[in-house]
Amino acid sequence: MSVHLQTAPPLEVAQWLNVTEPPSLDRLRGKVVMIEAFQMLCPGCVSHGLPQAAQVWKTFSGDDVQVLGLHSVFEHHDAQPPRALEAFLYEYRIGFPVAVDAPGDGALPKTMAAYGMQGTPTLVLIDRLGRKRSQHFGRVPDLVLGAEIMALIAEAQDTTPMAEAAETRPSSECGDAGCSVSGTKTAGTV
């Protein structure tokens, strides 16, 4: 099965916030990485995506799990510039590293396009070997997310993924709460 697992695309970043040294997926090998893609004007991101990411950041050891925010703006570009994001992170007390997704040729920023994200919030889990293991658009229950992260922590650093026991399902709430890229109708799980 492991033949299907691909290395996660590199993050294409215009600017990092909350960091002294810019992180990279390559240098994070050995840890589980959780990417929370969001927009500061996306209600579902503000009400549950970002609080959940902050909770993961507090709950798990930094030796095992690295949480990264990814500001992937695909609408209202001029209403969400990096200096507004900075104030937003300050007011919402978000302390983990946040990358500003690099602008693309069209409306979609580059990392968002490379990952095939349908909208925000999108949560991506990358295993200790740097491979993308799951991607959720919309709301993920804490119980399911805790189980998914631990399944990746539990894996030895080899190529054999453990079967996932938690049945991860897309939430029907996120169609309402999340912001989908035009043309994408429903929230879902890769």
Residue 65 in contact with its own copies, rule: CB under 8 A: yes
Considering only 21, 78, 105, 158, the residue that binds its own copies (CB under 8 A) is 78
Sign of CA dihedral 148, 152, 154, 159: positive
Q: Which is nearer to its own copies, 29 or 114 (CB)?
A: 29
Residue 35 in contact with its own copies, rule: CB under 8 A: no
- Determine the distance from the C-alpha atom of residue 67 to the mean position of all C-alpha atoms in its chain, rounded to a whole number: 8
On whether the CB atoms of residues 2 and 160 are closer than 8 A, the answer is yes
Considering only 147, 161, 188, 189, the residue that binds its own copies (CB under 8 A) is 147
Computed on alpha carbons and rounded to an integer, the radius of gyration of the chain in Å comes to 15
DSSP 3-state of 124: strand
Q: Which is nearer to its own copies, 130 or 178 (CB)?
A: 178
Phi, psi angles (nearest 5°) of residue 170: -65, 145
Residues 153-182 that bind its own copies (CB under 8 A): 153-155, 162, 165-167, 179
Number of chain residues interacting with its own copies (CB under 8 A): 45
